[in-house]
Amino acid sequence: MDEHALDGNVLAGQLQQHLGRDMTSARGRCGHCASTLAVADLVVYSRAPSPVGRCRRCGNVLLVVTEFGDTVRVHWNRFALA
């Protein structure tokens, strides 16, 4: 990870708000390289306009979290939760 990358735990509060439960230990499969990893294992870049979670193995974007006021939206991009 580079100096600006964080792990998926940084998304815990936003995912809890959006889905109503802790998602950091939830496991999913990358639709790009087929790796299985927990949300906490994602490489997250939070300096963009919205946090972006990338696969630790292949680097492809798996989710994007956006906030509009009090509303949190999560765009799942080829990351299927198990």
The domain limits of the chain are: 5-81
Does this model's pTM top 0.85? My answer is yes
- 3-class SS of residue 74: strand
CB 39 within 8 A of CB 24: yes
The distance between the two most distant Cα atoms of the chain, rounded to a whole number of Å, is 34
pLDDT, position 49: 84
Place of tokens 């990338």: 54
User: Bigger pLDDT: 48 or 23?
Assistant: 23
Closest CA to 1 of 77, 36, 53, 65: 53
Average pLDDT, the chain: 91
